[in-house]
Chain A
Amino acid sequence: MTTTNWTPAQPIVSIRDLHKSFGDLEVLKGISLDVMKGEVICVIGPSGSGKSTLIRCINALNPINSGSILVEGQEVHDPALDKLALRKKVGMVFQQYNLFPHKTALQNVMMAPLKVLKRPRDEVEKHARELMNRVNLQGKEDSYPGELSGGQQQRVAIARSLAMNPDVMLFDEVTAALDPETVKEVLLAIKDLAQSGMTCILVTHEMGFAREVADHIYFTDRGVIVEHGPPATFFTEAKDPRTQEFLSQIL
């Protein structure tokens, strides 16, 4: 891995003029944003505005066309980048959980540290059990994903990501597939994480939650950031008509 002279005083994620197209469809048209260590930012916006694409670019699940994404000072889209090293630093939780169905909850959490980081098993297991407790799933260690509710599966997915000790967590509409009753338990787990100082980038439709946990909110529409600001002012003083319209529909 190349060394950089990144210090925690600089943004941990820094995006400049990011452009991304799928074929002829330009999905991101010049996105720039900075995230400081320990910060929680929420990205909101209408469906199809490129929110998922944006956060998938941050851990190089999607290649980009132009611009720059630095994570801890490292260019994510440098062809020489060690993608594995990047992904050890950036965790991601998906809307569809994507747990490994042939493994129990605990095995799901243990798998990456064991196989990827090659940590000793007893240490990994101890950490995994702590994480299961942290997302409030004690007693579900030996359940298979198919035996868990959506909310429980999503919390396992969060624990699975945390097991890699990432510096940044990405959440892509992680409550969108859940029943209203189970949304709360997942949001609670994320909130706990956010308050513990984890750097989080969340795509969400939960405005109440965004207002509560976010340090900064970005509103995207058709591939650009239309407006952004801290929640205290963002929700009440939105200036752009597109933001106002979106907020009026969703609030």
Chain B
Amino acid sequence: MSRQIPGMSVIVQGKTDLPVLKPYRLSMSAGPADLGFSRWLQGVNPLTFVAIAGLLLIWPVVVFAQGGYTTAQAFEALWRWLPFLVTSGFALNILISFFTMLLGTVAGILLGLGQIAPLKPLSRFSWFVTQLFRNSPWLVLLFIVMLAFPFEFQIGGTIFLIPDWIKAVFGLSLPIMANISEIVRGGIQSVPTGQWEAAESLAFTRRQTLWQIILPQCFKRMIPPWMNWYAILTMATPLVSLLGVEELVTLSRQAMEAEDNHPELLMPFFGFALVIFFLYCYPIAKWTLRLERKFAVKE
């Protein structure tokens, strides 16, 4: 099964549920990792990328050369706006990505543990929630949360306003939660059943087995796919601009408007957005794959 991540053109392969009853050593490779996105991202040669960005920047010169507004002016405008775009715009993207990841990870771990719970109704329910949010378009989830959540809530006599970006965090957390849930479930199930049986026969309780024997073995293997999802998430944060959250893309549009909407502005401004996301996510992708290789060798 493959799904399209809204807002980007990367196909992310769905994870298969590999049953693991193989001898211990062999099964180590059947980890939860699915690093398609990181693999693609780190495979992009930064120079190619810069070249493409450069071409895009020249493009308006060719097309709109007859207007009075020059590319130099467009870049000059970008230069003026740049500190603001970074500190108010991109910073909010990062903030959203952090909080989403935090919330999504905590909820995803709980949901993942729920999926392997011996209590059937709980595991069924967790499985269902996981599948539901893994397979829903992110944008739809975002809209639902943005519109369904109240704008304010009351504690005692005080009214708290909920900023849009916090609602965006909740919306984006749902698919992240579901995917982390799968990472946790896949990681735990990649540990051979013999480990459970050995612990059981030594009179460990289920909880002790999980925390002291199973999770320490698969924890490391869950990190690369977790980071992979962080990169995907960060790249997806501009989605929230459609909902009016004032992150990088929204602010870029506003800045261009303030500069009289010259078409020449388009490529510098959006080109800049592209570059800054790339610069942020590329090292993460590199690091993800390095960790993946390291853990693969060690285990």
User: Hey, which bits of chain A sit against chain B, CB under 8 A?
Assistant: 59, 61, 83-85, 87-88, 90-92, 94, 96-102, 111-112, 115-116, 146, 157, 160-161, 164, 177
Contacts and interface: CB of A to CB of B under 8 A. Distances in A.
Nearest to A157: B198
A94 B203 contact: no
B23 A96 contact: yes
Contacts of B299: 101
Contacts of A88: 203
B24 A98 contact: yes
B194 interface: yes
Interface stretch (B53-61, B126-134, B211-219, B234-242): B211-219
Contact of B201 (A91, A100, A101): A91
Contacts of B197: 61, 94, 98
Contacts of A102: 216-217
A194 B212 CA distance: 31
A100 B203 contact: no
Contacts of B216: 102
A98 B198 contact: yes
B217 A116 contact: no
Interface residues of B, number: 21
17 contacts: A61-B197, A61-B201, A87-B200, A90-B201, A94-B194, A94-B197, A97-B24, A98-B194, A98-B198, A100-B213, A100-B217, A102-B217, A111-B212, A115-B208, A161-B201, A164-B202, A164-B203
Q: Which 9 A-B pairs have the closest CB atoms?
A: A98-B198, A87-B203, A112-B202, A98-B194, A92-B201, A84-B203, A116-B203, A88-B203, A102-B216
Contacts of A99: 198
Contacts of B195: 98, 100
A13 B154 CA distance: 65
Nearest to B201: A92
A59 B201 contact: yes
Given A87-B203, A97-B24, A98-B194, 4 more contacts: A84-B203, A91-B201, A98-B195, A157-B198
B99 interface: no
A96 B25 CA distance: 11
Nearest to A85: B203
B9 interface: no
A85 to B, nearest CB: 8
B204 interface: yes
B194 A96 contact: yes
A168 to B, nearest CB: 12
Nearest to B28: A101
Contacts of A115: 204, 208, 212
B2 interface: no
A74 to B, nearest CB: 15
Q: Counting chain B CB atoms within 10 Å of each CB, which of A84, A98, A111, A116 scores highest?
A: A98
Nearest to B219: A102
B205 interface: yes
Contacts of A85: 203
Contact of A100 (B23, B198, B205): B198
Given A98-B24, A98-B194, A102-B216, A116 B204 contact: yes
Nearest to B216: A102
Contacts of A161: 201-202
Nearest to B193: A98
Interface in B15-39: 23-25
A101 B26 CA distance: 13
A85 B199 CA distance: 14
A55 to B, nearest CB: 11
B154 to A, nearest CB: 47
Interface string B218-231: 00000000000000
Contacts of A87: 200-203
Nearest to B23: A96
A87 B208 CA distance: 15
Contacts of B199: 100
